[in-house]
Structure formats: C-alpha cells, structure tokens
Amino acid sequence: MGRINGKKAAVALTAGLVGFAGTGMAVAKGGISANLALSGSFFTVTIGGLSGQDFSLFMDNDAKGDDHLPVARVKIKEAKASDLCLSTTVPDLPAVGEATLSLRANGQNSVDADDLIVGSTDIKGSLRMADPNLGIDASQVNPEAPDDAWGLHSKDVQIVAEKIIATSVGAKQLNVSGVEASVRRGTENAC
C-alpha cells in the first residue's frame, strides 16, 4: 500500500475547508440552501431551542466503520431551531494533531429544516410534546422506521438540547443564517 504525503493531505484538507467555509458564508447570507448529510464519526450538537411538527423517535442503528451502533433516530417533518452549535474533533489530523471543526448559527430561528433526521447515541435536554404516543410501532407513523420498532410520536414538539452525541444528521432542506465556522487545534472551540 502507498503512503500518504502529509503536505498533499494538508493542501487537500485546506482546500476542502476553504470550500466548506465559502459554502457556509453563502448559507449565512441566505444565498443558498444546504442539504446536510453527515455520518461516519461522532459529533456534538447543542440547540438553544427547537420547535417542530410531526416528531417521531425510534430505535435504529447507524454504521460506524465496519460496526453498527444502536441509536435513537429522531425525525421532525418541519423544524425551526435557535442557537445551534455542531462540532467534531479529529484526533490526529496530518501535520496538525488534534483539531476541532465548529459550526455555529446563533440567534432566534437561525435554522429552518424540512425532514430533519438525527441518529444519536446520547441526548440530554428537555422535551415537550403535544398529543404524545409512547411505545408505538414507529413504522406506523414513520416509513423510515423498521417494522415493529419501539417509538414515540407527537404532532408538535419543543426541544432544548443541552448535548446530543450524534452519529448522523440529514435533512431534505436546511436553511441556516448567521453561520460561523472555525477550525482550531485542540478542543477549545467545541460545543
């Protein structure tokens, strides 16, 4: 097998981060909508507040390398969130060492998402549901849920997420305003 050239890897990473930051700036200025799909590593998400319609949660699994992890899969048909932070740490970035990428969108209703879906191993926060149904067969209200999956559902939800350890986040449509992206050595800028 070949070797990885550290300088070439650093140049490729820098180019990717510049492209990512440019996209973030365009999203921040309202120029584009972003389809978000992140997976393959753990990342931390915090949300100051989220309101949504057609909320469901069910047990599922997410692939991480060759392994599959049990996760709580959260799906929200329409969501508006405030004060969002998402960060992930790479333990051994070539020529750098430990580094953290952080995305922040501060402000009231700074995030607007359609068909938001999150895979998570840990969720800490508060939840307020309207007309909740607990212990249901989640596949009856959510076509993505496996048959006979334990779940809960509500028509409306209010969430404050102090900390979510996520394995994947996806959305059919994601609009974010006021995006700030930073990459730093270590974990100082993590959520």
Q: Is residue 190 part of a domain?
A: no
Q: Is residue 149 part of a domain?
A: yes
Q: Is residue 65 part of a domain?
A: yes
Q: Is residue 191 part of a domain?
A: no
Largest distance between two CA atoms of the chain: 57
Q: Is residue 47 part of a domain?
A: yes
SS (H, E, C) the chain: CCCCCHHHHHHHHHHHHHHHHHHHHHHHCCCCCECCEEEEEEEEEEEEEEEEEEEEEEEEEEEECCEEEEEEEEEEEEEEEEEEEEEEEEEEECCCEEEEEEEEECCCCCEEEEEEEEEEEEEEEEEEEECCEEEEEHHHCCCCCCCCCEEEEEEEEEEEEEEEEEEEEECCEEEECCEEEEEEECCCCCC
Q: Is residue 1 part of a domain?
A: no
Task: Kindly tell me if the per-residue pLDDT of 175 is higher than 50.
Answer: yes
| Total tally of structural domains belonging to the chain | 1
Q: Is residue 139 part of a domain?
A: yes
Task: Kindly tell me if the per-residue pLDDT of 24 is higher than 50.
Answer: no
Q: Is residue 50 part of a domain?
A: yes
- Give residue 48's pLDDT: 92
Q: 11 is in which domain, residue-wise? A: 6-185
**Amino acid letter, 31:** G
Q: Please tell me which residue, 34 or 155, carries the higher pLDDT value.
A: 155
Q: What pLDDT, in 10s, does the model give residues 32-89?
A: 333 344 445 788 999 999 999 999 999 988 887 788 889 999 999 999 999 999 999 9
Q: Please tell me which residue, 96 or 17, carries the higher pLDDT value.
A: 96
